[in-house]
Amino acid sequence: MRQEGLLQLAASRLIGLVPTLLVLITISFFLIRLAPGGPFDAEMAAPPEIRANLEAKYHLDEPLLAQYFRYLGEVIAFDFGPSFQYKDWTVNELIARGFPISATIGGLAMLLAFFAGVLIGVFAALRQNTASDYTVMGIAMLGISIPNFVVAPLLILVLAIYGGWLPASGWDWTWQRGLLPVVTLALPAIAYIARLTRGSMIEVLHSNYIRTARAKGLPERTVILRHALKPTLLPVISYMGPATAALITGSVVVERIYSIPGLGSYFVQGALNRDYTLVMGVVVFYGMIIILFNFIVDLLYAWLNPRIRYDEGE
Mean pLDDT of the chain, nearest integer: 81
| Residue 312, pLDDT above cutoff 50 | no
Number of domains in the chain: 1
Per-residue pLDDT, 271 = 79
Own/partner contacts of 237-241, CB < 8 Å, gap of 24 or more, are 237/297, 237/300, 237/301, 237/304, 238/297, 238/301, 239/192, 239/193, 239/196, 240/110, 240/114, 240/193, 240/297, 241/293, 241/294, 241/296, 241/297, 241/298, 241/300
For residue 44, pLDDT over 60 is answered with no
**Within a domain: residue 6?**
no
Question: Is residue 88 domain-resident?
Answer: no
- Read off the pLDDT of each residue in 234-254 and give the average, rounded to a whole number: 78
In a domain, 83, yes or no: no
In a domain, 184, yes or no: yes
Q: What is the CATH number of the domain that holds 134?
A: 1.10.3720.10
Q: Considering the domain boundaries, does residue 29 fall inside one? A: no
Q: Is residue 298 part of a domain?
A: yes
Residue 265 belongs to domain spanning: 96-304
- pLDDT: which is higher, 42 or 80: 80
